[in-house]
Structure 1
Amino acid sequence: MNSNSGFYVSGGLLLLACLLKVPAFVRNRGRDWLLSSICALLLIGSGVLVTAAPSSIVFINRVTGVVNFAAAFIYILLTLFSGASIVLVLNWRGGPEPDQTRRLSRITIAVYATCCLVIAGLFWLGTADVEQIHTFDTYYATTPFISEMIVLYVLAHAAASLITSRLCWRWSHEVHGTLRTGLRVVAVGYLMHWAGYDLAVMGAVAARWVGANADFLIDFARATTGPSAVLVSTGFIIPLIGPRGEEAVRYWRLAPLARAVRPVQGAPSPVNLPLPWWKPNLQLRLTQRQTYISDRIVACRGHFDTRIRDEARAAALAVKVTEEGAVVIAEAAMIAAAVELHRSANGHTPLPPRLAVPTRATFRGDLAHISRALRSPIVKNIRRRTRMETATV
C-alpha cells in the first residue's frame, strides 16, 4: 500500500458511511438535526483524509497555483471537524437546560470559526514559497506567521479532541447498550487524535524550535490519522445502527422458539407482508415473528402445567443453574410440554390421566431467553418424555 492508499481508503470509508445515511437524511428532509450533524461530520472527516494524501496535496497546490495552499486548506478543514465534534456531542447529549446547550454550541462555533479565519490570515501574512508535501509543519516551524498558524491549528484540534473524549467518556457511564459502546469508541478515537497526532506534531515542531530534528514524529502522526478518524466516525454510527443490529439478533434468537411452537393449531395465521430483499425492515419482521410465537403460546396455554415448571426448575437448580436461569428453563419446559399436549389433543388423542386437568400457569420470561433455553437438556428430556406419554395413550 503506497502513501496515498491509507488516506484514500480511510476517507472512502467515511464517505461510504455518510452515503449510507443519505437516504434517511432525504426522508427526513434535513429535519433530523442529529442525523444532519453526523452526515456533516463524516463528510468533513472524509474531506480531511482525502485532501491530506500526498497526491491530493500536490493536485490542490497545482490547481490553485498557490504554493502550499493545501496545507492551510487541510488545517481549516481539520479545525472545522474539531469544532463540529464538540457541537455534535453537546447537542447529542442535550441536557435539562436547552438554552445552556445552545449557548455553549454558539460559543464553540464562534471560537472555531474565528480560528479558521485566523489560520487563513496567518497563511496570507506568512511566506511559504517552498512546497512541502510531508514535512510542512517542521519545515516552517520557525517561519513568522506560519509557525503561529501551525501552533493554532494543533492547539485547536488538541483542545477539541480532549474535550470531546472527556464528554463522551463521562456520558458513557450514564447510558447503556449501543449508545455506551458508541460513546466509548468515540472517546478512544479522539484520545488517539490527541495522543497520536497532536502530541506528535507538537513534539516535532518543538524539536525544530531548539534546533533538533524529530521529523519521524510527523510520519507517526500521519499514520494515526486514518485509524483514529475511522474510530470516531464508527462510534458516531454505532448508536444509529445499533437498534437494527439488536433487532436482527433478537429475530435470529427467536428462531428455535418459532420452530418449537409451529405444530400448534388454532392460532391465527401470520400475515406476511411482502418485503423486498433490498429493504428488509427488520423491525416489522421481528414483530411478525413475536406475534406468531405469542399467538401459538396463547393457543396452548390451557395445557400449561405448574408441576412441569416446578420439576424443571428443581432440576436446573440441582445442576447449579442460577435462580434466574432456572426460571427461564422451567418456563421453556412448560411451553415445550404444552405444545406436545396441544398437538396430541388436536389429534383427538386423550391426555394421560395425570395430565388430564393441568394446573393453569402463566409465564413472564423474555421470549428470546426462553428460545435459548430450549437447548437445555432438561427441556429436551421433558419434551421427549411428554411426547412419549401422549403417543402411548
Structure 2
Amino acid sequence: MNSLINYLSCGALWLGLAVKAPDLLRHRHDPYLRAICAVLGLAGLCFLLGAPPTVGAVNRLSGVPNLAAPLTYAAITGYCAASQVLVVHWRGGPRVHRTARRWTLAYAAVVLGIAVTFALGDAPVERRTDLDTYYATTPFIAEMIVLYLVAHLTAVTVTTVSALRWARQVRGGLRAGLTLLGAGALCGAGYSLAKLVAVSARWSGRDWSALDTAVSPVAAGLGALLIVVGVLVPLVTPRVAEWRRASHAYARLGPLERALDDLLDRRALRLPRPRPASPATLLMWRRTSIHNALGRLDAYCDRGLYDRTRADTLAATGDPELARARAWAAVILDALRREAGPGEAPPPGAGRPPAPSPDPATLARIADVFAGAGRAPAASAVPRGRTTAGAA
C-alpha cells in the first residue's frame, strides 16, 4: 500500500511538473517558475525514492545498506528549500533574492549534515519502511532522522501559514490555489509530526511504529495531491475562464450565423469547420463566416434604411448600442432579400457599408436582435420615403 501511495503521489506531482515545463522553457529565467517546478519535481522525487521497491533497488545497486535513506532525506530537504524559495517569491519585497539565498544555504547545510551523520553512523540492517523508528536510538543515525524531520516540519509550517494568510487577501483562482497549497503543506506537517512522535516514543521504549509506516505515508500522499492541485489551479483558472467566455460568445453569435446560412452555403463563403478546435478557434471561425457574408452583402446594403431604423430605435429607447444593432439587423435582412431575389436591384447609394464594419461586441448585439432579445424591424415595414441624418 505504501508503494502505491508513493508512486501515485509521484505521478501526480510530476504530471503537474509536465504541465508547467513548457512555461519554464519559455521563461527559464523566471525565479517564480523555477521555484514552482523545483517544488513539484523534488516532491515527486521524494515519493519515488521513499517507495519500498525503490529503496531496495537503490540499496542493492549501491551495495550500501540503507543508502536510499539519506538520498530520500536529501530530496526532502531540497523540497523544503524550494518551498521556502517559492514562499519568498510569493511575498515579494525588496529582499527577495537575499532571503531566498539564505533559505537555500540553510537547507544546503542540512543536506551536508545528513550526509555527515549518515557517514558517521552505522545502519547495517536494511529497513525499507520503518528506518526512522528502527534506528531512532542509533548514534548519528538518530540525529540524521531528527535533522531532516525538523527541517521538513519548519518548511511546511512556514508554507502553511504564508499560503493561508495570503489566501485571505486575494480572490478567485489564486485564493483557491493558495488554500489548497496551504492544506497540502499542513498535511505535510502531519507527516513530519507523525514520524517525530513515533521516534520520540521509541526513545521512551514504546513502539508506535504504525505512525511511521501507516499514518505518515497517507498524510504525505494527501498533501502531495493538494499541493499539485493548488499549484495548478491559479494557472488553469484563467484558461478555463477564457474558454467559458469564448464558448458563450460562440453560442451568442449562433442566431446571426443561422440567418446568413443560405447565403454562406450558396456562395461557399463558410470555411471548413475546424475539428478538433478550442472554443476560441471556433469563435474565430464563426466570426470569419459572418464577416464573409457581410462582405458579400455590401453591394445590397441600404444606407438610408440603416439611418432611418437607427434614428427610430434611438428615439424610442434612448439606447445607441441597441439602435445600431437593430439598424444593422434591418439592413442585413433587406440585403439578404435583395441578394437572393431574382432581378432585385441594389438600393440607391448601395455599394458602401452603412457604418463601420461591426466589431465583435456589435456582432454579438446584432445576434441578440436576431435571437429576439431586441426585435429586428422588418425591412419592408420601414418607410422608404423617410430620411434622417446621423449615421453611426
TM range (shorter): 0.7 to 0.9
Does the residue aligned with 1:120 lie in a helix, a strand or coil? helix
1:276 to 1:290, Cα distance in 2 relative to 1, 3 A: closer
Per-residue deviation, residues 91-125 of structure 1 (Å, max 9, x unmatched)? 24423x1xx11111111011111111111111111
Amino acid aligned to 1:15: W
User: Which residue matches 1:212?
Assistant: 206
User: Which residue matches 2:9?
Assistant: 10
Amino acid aligned to 1:19: A
Looking at structure 1, the residues matched to 275 and 250 of structure 2 have their Cα atoms a distance apart, in angstroms, of 20
RMSD: 4.2
After the TM superposition, which of the residue ranges 224-233 and 149-158 deviates more from structure 2?
224-233
CA shift for structure 1 position 15: 1.9
2:174 to 179, 193, 215: 179
Per-residue deviation, residues 59-114 of structure 1 (Å, max 9, x unmatched)? 1111111111111111110011011011022124423x1xx111111110111111
CA shift for structure 1 position 221: 0.7
Looking at structure 1, the residues matched to 163 and 289 of structure 2 have their Cα atoms a distance apart, in angstroms, of 40
TM-score, normalised by the number of residues in structure 1: 0.72
Assess if the C-alpha contact under 8 Å between 1:337 and 1:382 holds in 2: no
Aligned 1:223-262 pairs, distance under 5 A: 223-262=218-257
User: Which residue matches 2:71?
Assistant: 73
2:40 to 31, 39, 42: 42
Assess if the C-alpha contact under 8 Å between 2:270 and 2:292 holds in 1: no
User: Which residue matches 2:348?
Assistant: none
1:273 to 1:381, Cα distance in 2 relative to 1, 3 A: closer
TM-score, normalised by the number of residues in structure 2: 0.73
Query: Are positions 1:129 and 2:124 aligned together?
Result: yes
Assess if the C-alpha contact under 8 Å between 1:179 and 1:239 holds in 2: yes
Looking at structure 2, the residues matched to 175 and 296 of structure 1 have their Cα atoms a distance apart, in angstroms, of 45
* Structure whose CA Rg is larger: 2
Assess if the C-alpha contact under 8 Å between 1:264 and 1:339 holds in 2: no
Per-residue deviation, residues 105-146 of structure 1 (Å, max 9, x unmatched)? 111011111111111111111221221111111111222222
CA shift for structure 1 position 215: 1.7
Per-residue deviation, residues 310-335 of structure 1 (Å, max 9, x unmatched)? 8xxxxxxxxxxxxxxxx9xx98x878
User: Which residue matches 1:313?
Assistant: none
1:264 to 1:150, Cα distance in 2 relative to 1, 3 A: same
Amino acid aligned to 1:174: Q
1:116 to 1:271, Cα distance in 2 relative to 1, 3 A: farther
Looking at structure 2, the residues matched to 111 and 272 of structure 1 have their Cα atoms a distance apart, in angstroms, of 61
Assess if the C-alpha contact under 8 Å between 1:257 and 1:293 holds in 2: no
1:180 to 1:81, Cα distance in 2 relative to 1, 3 A: same
Assess if the C-alpha contact under 8 Å between 2:136 and 2:203 holds in 1: yes
User: Which residue matches 1:82?
Assistant: 80
Looking at structure 1, the residues matched to 200 and 69 of structure 2 have their Cα atoms a distance apart, in angstroms, of 19
CA shift for structure 1 position 287: 6.7
Looking at structure 2, the residues matched to 110 and 79 of structure 1 have their Cα atoms a distance apart, in angstroms, of 11
Looking at structure 2, the residues matched to 308 and 19 of structure 1 have their Cα atoms a distance apart, in angstroms, of 58
Query: Are positions 1:32 and 2:30 aligned together?
Result: yes
CA shift for structure 1 position 154: 1.1
User: Which residue matches 1:315?
Assistant: none
CA shift for structure 1 position 162: 1.1
CA shift for structure 1 position 171: 2.1
CA shift for structure 1 position 284: 6.7
Looking at structure 1, the residues matched to 82 and 37 of structure 2 have their Cα atoms a distance apart, in angstroms, of 11
Looking at structure 2, the residues matched to 294 and 198 of structure 1 have their Cα atoms a distance apart, in angstroms, of 62
Amino acid aligned to 1:47: L
User: Which residue matches 1:221?
Assistant: 216
Assess if the C-alpha contact under 8 Å between 2:331 and 2:379 holds in 1: no
CA shift for structure 1 position 159: 0.9
Looking at structure 1, the residues matched to 207 and 323 of structure 2 have their Cα atoms a distance apart, in angstroms, of 75
User: Which residue matches 1:91?
Assistant: 89
User: Which residue matches 1:198?
Assistant: 192
Assess if the C-alpha contact under 8 Å between 1:90 and 1:101 holds in 2: yes
User: Which residue matches 2:97?
Assistant: 102
Q: Percent identity?
A: 32
Looking at structure 2, the residues matched to 48 and 131 of structure 1 have their Cα atoms a distance apart, in angstroms, of 19
Looking at structure 2, the residues matched to 93 and 255 of structure 1 have their Cα atoms a distance apart, in angstroms, of 39
CA shift for structure 1 position 14: 1.9
Assess if the C-alpha contact under 8 Å between 1:51 and 1:57 holds in 2: yes
Does the residue aligned with 1:261 lie in a helix, a strand or coil? helix
Per-residue deviation, residues 195-240 of structure 1 (Å, max 9, x unmatched)? x311211121122122222222121111121221122122222223
Q: Specify every segment of 5 or more residues in structure 1 that has no aligned partner in the other structure, as ranges.
A: 311-326, 350-365
CA shift for structure 1 position 288: 7.1
CA shift for structure 1 position 337: 5.5
Looking at structure 2, the residues matched to 379 and 283 of structure 1 have their Cα atoms a distance apart, in angstroms, of 22
User: Which residue matches 1:19?
Assistant: 18
Does the residue aligned with 1:130 lie in a helix, a strand or coil? coil
1:12 to 1:239, Cα distance in 2 relative to 1, 3 A: same
User: Which residue matches 1:53?
Assistant: 51
Per-residue deviation, residues 330-362 of structure 1 (Å, max 9, x unmatched)? 98x87885665344333369xxxxxxxxxxxxx
Looking at structure 1, the residues matched to 48 and 100 of structure 2 have their Cα atoms a distance apart, in angstroms, of 27
1:173 to 1:252, Cα distance in 2 relative to 1, 3 A: same
Assess if the C-alpha contact under 8 Å between 1:260 and 1:336 holds in 2: no
Amino acid aligned to 1:9: L
CA shift for structure 1 position 274: 11
Aligned 1:371-390 pairs, distance under 5 A: 383=374, 386=376
